[in-house]
Structure 1
Amino acid sequence: MAEPRWLDDAEFRAWIGYRRMRLLLDAQVSRDLMRDSGLSAPDYDVLSALTSSEGHRRRLTELADRMLWSKSRLSRHISRMEQRGLVTREECETDARGAVVVLTEGGLRAIEEAAPEHVESVRRHFIDLLSPEQLEVLGTVAETVLAHLAPDGSPEASGMQR
């Protein structure tokens, strides 16, 4: 086996810094979201995916793939969201075994009310701390890594579409 290619000081600083930043940033933005809207980060992710989908609907399996969750884990989460009136579940017309998750009026209202405070939290804890040049570099870095990790390298598969 080949000798490991250990990280040098700059690489280690970048890697550990990214990992710690991601954990702390995700935790802070999630706390703000819950405090401001009562939505969890997964709730917001589901609602956001549905609002950007044609007809405000998406197959459960596609949603699970997008969120990197198992179908059963997402199904349980969708059940909790259904109880709160944020989404409904319908049978899939093309696959009797499949389900389609549909955004309700209550879910649309919830994300529309949550979005302004959520984007302000993202700005306060991340975007506004960086220069335009840093944002450009970060965007390029993200696209490079996501294209490498996405099955087909497409923006849709990498999650980089708007």
Structure 2
Amino acid sequence: MSDAVDTVRNAWSRERPDVDNWPVGVVGRTQRLARVLEDELQSFFRQFGLDTGEVDVLFTLRRSGAPYGLMPTQLVKTLMVTSGAVTKRINRLEARKFVERIPDTLDRRIVQVRLTKQGLAMVDRIFAPHIANEARLLEGLDRDKLDQLADLLRTLLQSLGDTPRR
């Protein structure tokens, strides 16, 4: 059974038989998979009036532990997006009363972004269904193969310099 990436590889093999295009099989499928998964997750979160960027902020704050707050610079490092992107997400979530900015008692220029009660309730409401949705998206492979895939992807990411951010 072939897919769109096979079609691309076959076309390149015809046009440039002198180049072994095997990497397209991995990179092309990884890129396509990322787009499909992003679309599916975006569709899921839209049911709750959120987008994936906003959910990233909410989930990151929730897993930080009580009192569920982080400095904006910590969010930037964890989410691997620009400070401008984080600011926009925080502004949208603050307008919806899901997060609040808590000024530092000693230096009011320093703030912590913290989940509100409404934000915590939203995260706790959508987290289990979100995990169930992710499981649904992975139904094409059995658990052993998925565990192998997770290990292989971790190894590949590490080889490319991806390390945990704190």
Identity of aligned residues (%): 22
The one-letter code sitting in structure 1 at the alignment partner of 2:126 is A
TM-score (norm 1): 0.80
2:69 equivalent to 1:57: yes
Alignment match, 1:76: 88
The one-letter code sitting in structure 2 at the alignment partner of 1:145 is L
2:49 equivalent to 1:38: yes
Q: Which has the larger radius of gyration?
A: 2
Alignment match, 1:143: 154
Q: Residues 125-154 of structure 1, C-alpha deviation per residue, up to 9 Å, x if partnerless?
A: 12x22222321222112222332323xx4x
Distance 2:137 2:21 in 1: 26
In structure 2, the CA distance between the partners of 1:46 and 1:132, relative to structure 1 (3 Å rule), is same
TM-score (norm 2): 0.78
2:23 equivalent to 1:11: yes
Q: What is the aligned residue count?
A: 147
- Of stretches 109-118 and 14-23 in structure 1, the one that deviates more from structure 2 is 109-118
Alignment match, 1:104: 116
Helix, strand or coil for the counterpart of 1:129? coil
Q: Residues 96-143 of structure 1, C-alpha deviation per residue, up to 9 Å, x if partnerless?
A: 5432110111001111111232122211112x2222232122211222
Alignment match, 1:20: 32
Alignment match, 2:4: none
Q: Show structure 1 runs of 5+ residues with no match.
A: 1-5
Q: Show structure 2 runs of 5+ residues with no match.
A: 1-17
The one-letter code sitting in structure 2 at the alignment partner of 1:53 is S
